Structure 1
Amino acid sequence: MTLLTADEVVPGGFAPRRGTMMAATGAVLLLLLLIAAVLGPVLAGSDHLTQRHDAILNPPGGEHWFGTGRLGEDVAAQTFHGMRKSLLIGVAVALISTALAALVGSFAGLLGGRADGMTMWTVDVLLVLPPIVVVAVLSPMFAGGSWLLLVVAIAAFQWMLPARMIRSRTLVLRESGFVRAATAMGASRVRIICRHLVPNMLPLLVIDVTLTVGTAVIAEAGLSYFGFGVQPPDVSLGTLLSIGSTSAVTFPWVFVFPATALVITVMAVGLLGEGIRLRLEGPSGER
């Protein structure tokens, strides 16, 4: 007969434990992916630009783990480099969008009144716009430019929903004793946000960063797949999927390995973010 512990009997004890397992699994997967992304040229034996015209569309083997592409490129080297670029874009987008969401949401909630109403109306209008269409229309403006422009373009459509959540949290926190005391002592709104609101919303911001990384990686892959994202000779996972899609049936390794890397990357980030959420939230889902 197996005796149940208190954590197993009480539902609230199971969620943190499950969150810890999910976060640990996601962190380990993400660490392995980061190692592969950073050490890609070493692991593959060549960089993503090297072409071997005597080894065109070779299947996976000892010399080329993931096979070679249409120009003799090592698919493993390209996949590792593409994964590094996609993760870099995803992290940059997550940090920018979360910082913007924290700034807009906290100011709107703290100010209240007409400023809050106008800000939320603007957010609602931006939420209606289809991001991929807008970025596709604007893409000729930054064609051939730095990939940082792509980061800014994706981040511009990732902050609205988090801003609404942060604004709701700010409406609760502004009625707390420490915010009222800071206001009575003449603290500026910027100081109240930086010293009191943001630290108390840190779990929410951490969760938003981790989950936004996965969303941004998918967005970048979609834009690059349709030719609006990372441009050759640089590659991302979306670029590799676009190149390999025409050979997905005849030479499947050109498409399968980048697609698998994308799935595992998004899954690892999702597990980490969901695990952190379960670990930081209480049994009832309240922070």
Structure 2
Amino acid sequence: MSLPEEELAEELTERPVRAPSRMRIVGRRFFASKQGVIGFAVLVFLFLLAFIGPHFTKWTYTDKDFTAFLQPPSAEHWFGTLQTGADVYAVTLRGMQKSLIVGLLAALLSTALAATVGAFAGFFLGWTDRTLTWMTDLLLVLPAFLILAIMSPLFGDGQWVLFVVMLALFLWMVTSKIVRGMTISLKEREFIQAAKFMGVSPMKIIFRHVIPNLSSLLIVDATLNVSAAILTETSLSYFGFGIQPPDVSFGTLIADGTKTAVYAPWTFWFVAVLLIITVLSVNLIGDALRDAFDPSAARRTKKR
């Protein structure tokens, strides 16, 4: 072996081999899953369509073409028009924008609330646990749909953020109970005990050690909550209790489209198909993430 080869061998021997991080391993597993890749690609396409697609047409969701009432798809109106002369393509993409934003924000808020409440209840126990558990159980038995329907007059024009907050308040309870149980087990681990002995405050332990170690559960939960929030918002808006006019969402568009679906199917089927594809792609991503974080569970499921 020549001198340069000997030096190279020594350098390779001395150089430490870094193990890939857990998130990198999860990412590899996720993108090795066909359903995960398909779901991710479709969801990215839907986001681009919702936020960039409106720039490819001259119509906006508030425009009315008074020369084309309830017209089928054409070169002028790609998805046709509604009874009011509104362009179906423009209002559908506007509705998808609103539903995606509502779904994402509600999912993030509900998952953050579940992580915080569950971690505090499981870490402190005692009266803190009893109070938070009582609050969680109370929200579980309350009729969420009825409460949101009663408060819907508050969700007027420009108040859709309030609707997102109210929606998130009814999506976190089951996850918080799971987080609580996992926190009780996790706080007995050596690194948590070491942090306590070093005088680290409970708040720092919870947010720096407990919640990050539950990231796999929380990421999957947040992903699946997106589709749950979109479907809930669609149901509420369908009955007039969600997004309020003049704004639109999947629910309001489907409610309007059902009236003319038989003799003008373009007013209903475009938005209905996009809703199905959106929810299906989010669920595919959630299933792929769950398998990526816990491949052993995926193998057990396949064996059954």
Q: Is the shorter-chain TM-score for this pair beyond 0.5, marking a shared fold?
A: yes
The one-character-per-residue Cα deviations of 1:156-190 (angstroms, maximum 9, x if unpaired) are 10111111111111111111110111111121111
Deviation of 1:208 after TM superposition, in Å, equals 1.1
The answer to whether the aligner puts 1:51 opposite 2:64 as a matched pair is yes
Q: Is the 8 A contact 2:227 2:283 kept in 1?
A: yes
Deviation of 1:144 after TM superposition, in Å, equals 3.7
Aligned residues: 271
Q: Is the 8 A contact 1:18 1:278 kept in 2?
A: no
Query: What is the match of residue 122 of structure 1?
Result: 135
Query: Aligned pair in 2 of structure 1 residues 240, 129: CA closer, same or farther (>3 Å)?
Result: same
Q: Is the 8 A contact 1:108 1:119 kept in 2?
A: yes
Q: Is the 8 A contact 2:155 2:242 kept in 1?
A: no
Query: What is the match of residue 75 of structure 2?
Result: 62
1:267 is aligned, of 268, 276, 280, to 280
Query: What is the match of residue 173 of structure 1?
Result: 186
Deviation of 1:90 after TM superposition, in Å, equals 0.6
The one-character-per-residue Cα deviations of 1:200-240 (angstroms, maximum 9, x if unpaired) are 11111111111111100011111111111111111111110
Deviation of 1:114 after TM superposition, in Å, equals 3.4
Query: What is the match of residue 9 of structure 1?
Result: none
Query: What is the match of residue 161 of structure 2?
Result: 148
Deviation of 1:195 after TM superposition, in Å, equals 1.0
- State how far apart, in whole Å, the 1-side matches of 2:242 and 2:56 are: 26
Moved more, 236-245 or 135-144: 135-144
Deviation of 1:66 after TM superposition, in Å, equals 1.2
2:101 is aligned, of 55, 80, 88, to 88
Moved more, 60-69 or 26-35: 60-69
Q: Is the 8 A contact 1:44 1:74 kept in 2?
A: no
Gapped regions of structure 1 (runs ≥ 5): 1-15
Q: Is the 8 A contact 1:20 1:276 kept in 2?
A: no
Query: What is the match of residue 258 of structure 1?
Result: 271
- State how far apart, in whole Å, the 2-side matches of 1:285 and 1:185 are: 39
> Runs ≥4 in structure 1, deviation > 6 angstroms?
none
> How much identity, in percent, do the aligned residues show?
44
TM-score of the aligned structures, taking structure 1 as reference length: 0.90
Query: What is the match of residue 253 of structure 2?
Result: 240
Instruction: Write the letter of the residue equivalent to 1:149.
Output: L
Q: Is the 8 A contact 2:30 2:37 kept in 1?
A: no
TM-score of the aligned structures, taking structure 2 as reference length: 0.85
Q: Is the 8 A contact 1:214 1:269 kept in 2?
A: yes
Q: Is the 8 A contact 2:30 2:289 kept in 1?
A: no
Deviation of 1:39 after TM superposition, in Å, equals 1.4
Gapped regions of structure 2 (runs ≥ 5): 1-28, 300-304
Deviation of 1:145 after TM superposition, in Å, equals 4.5
Structure showing greater Rg: 2
Moved more, 124-133 or 213-222: 124-133
Query: What is the match of residue 187 of structure 1?
Result: 200
Query: Aligned pair in 2 of structure 1 residues 26, 168: CA closer, same or farther (>3 Å)?
Result: same
Deviation of 1:19 after TM superposition, in Å, equals 7.1
- State how far apart, in whole Å, the 2-side matches of 1:132 and 1:117 are: 26
Deviation of 1:61 after TM superposition, in Å, equals 2.2
The one-character-per-residue Cα deviations of 1:79-107 (angstroms, maximum 9, x if unpaired) are 11110110001111011111111110000
Instruction: Write the letter of the residue equivalent to 1:79.
Output: T
Deviation of 1:40 after TM superposition, in Å, equals 2.7
Deviation of 1:23 after TM superposition, in Å, equals 1.5
- State how far apart, in whole Å, the 1-side matches of 2:267 and 2:136 are: 41
The answer to whether the aligner puts 1:221 opposite 2:219 as a matched pair is no
- State how far apart, in whole Å, the 2-side matches of 1:219 and 1:17 are: 27
Higher relative contact order (CA 8 A, sep 6+): 1
Query: What is the match of residue 113 of structure 2?
Result: 100
